[in-house]
Amino acid sequence: MSVILRIVIAVFLGFLVLALSSMMNTVKVFTELSESHPWIPITHTGMLLASLILICLLSRGKVSTYGLKGIRLKALVRPTVVGLFLGIIITGLGELLPMTGFEFMEDFTLLQIILFVWIYASVSEELLTRGLLQGFLRPLEKHGLTVFNFYMSVPVLVAALFFGFMHLGLLTMGASGSAVFVIVLSGIILGVIAGYYRERTGSIVPAIVVHALFNICGTVVGSLGEAVKS
């Protein structure tokens, strides 16, 4: 399979998962559930299930080739430090721009934010991008580019770009253009870092950790910013 064809198929798989997960919101039972319990992650549940099914089918049961395997705790130290460092810097810079369209989180309890924003969303989105997409593109790891002695393979770059630009959908939810710009840009940066550790360790666990730390920093820094402004 050619490089271009594999990339095209990977992107198609990504959009397929997004389409299937979005369709769950059109099913009456899920629509009613979402209206009565807006904190329940209907879309992310669809994303998680669709990604898992495709990974099982494409890997023929060898899900470890798609990053679904454990890792030693020692290997999480560096991703944790990098995730915290970049998360604080990027979300801090984001606070300098007007960010609107995320008022729905004001109704979330701290427990709901921890479970569904910090953990569940991170796992679901990483399963799609660093699991399904990067796993499918794994044969292309020798193709890529080097910037300031930092090598970024095609699988890392494609998954990172897809992850960043899939947040453009926030525009339809009322998010401001500046907010979406910051999220897309930070998503690409996050994707490169998460993808790098996914490729280096062969597991999506470090990617999930980095992703969760970005979400945590976004919530904490955002809350501190609101407190300072008030």
Q: Quick one: pLDDT band at residue 1, thresholds 50, 70, 90?
A: confident
Query: Tokens standing for 118?
Result: 């910090």
Residue 194: give the domain boundaries: 3-229
Residue 107: is its pLDDT beyond 80? no
- For residues 115-131, give the mean pLDDT: 93
Greater pLDDT, 218 or 222: 218
152-189 pLDDT per residue, tens: 999 999 999 999 999 887 777 667 777 788 889 889 99
Query: Tokens standing for 151?
Result: 């090598």
* Measured distance CA(30)–CA(39) in Å, rounded: 12
202's torsion region: left (phi>0), alpha (psi -120 to 50) or beta? Answer: left
Q: Quick one: pLDDT band at residue 116, thresholds 50, 70, 90?
A: confident
Q: Quick one: pLDDT band at residue 226, thresholds 50, 70, 90?
A: low
Running DSSP on this structure, what letter comes out for residue 230?
Answer: -
pLDDT given for residue 85 in this prediction: 86
Q: Is 141 exposed, middle or buried (0-12, 13-18, 19+ CB in 10 A)?
A: middle
Residue 211: is its pLDDT beyond 90? yes
- Stated length of the chain: 230
> Structurally, how many domains does the chain consist of?
1
pLDDT averaged over every residue in the chain: 86
Q: Report whether 196 contacts 156 (CB < 8 A).
A: yes
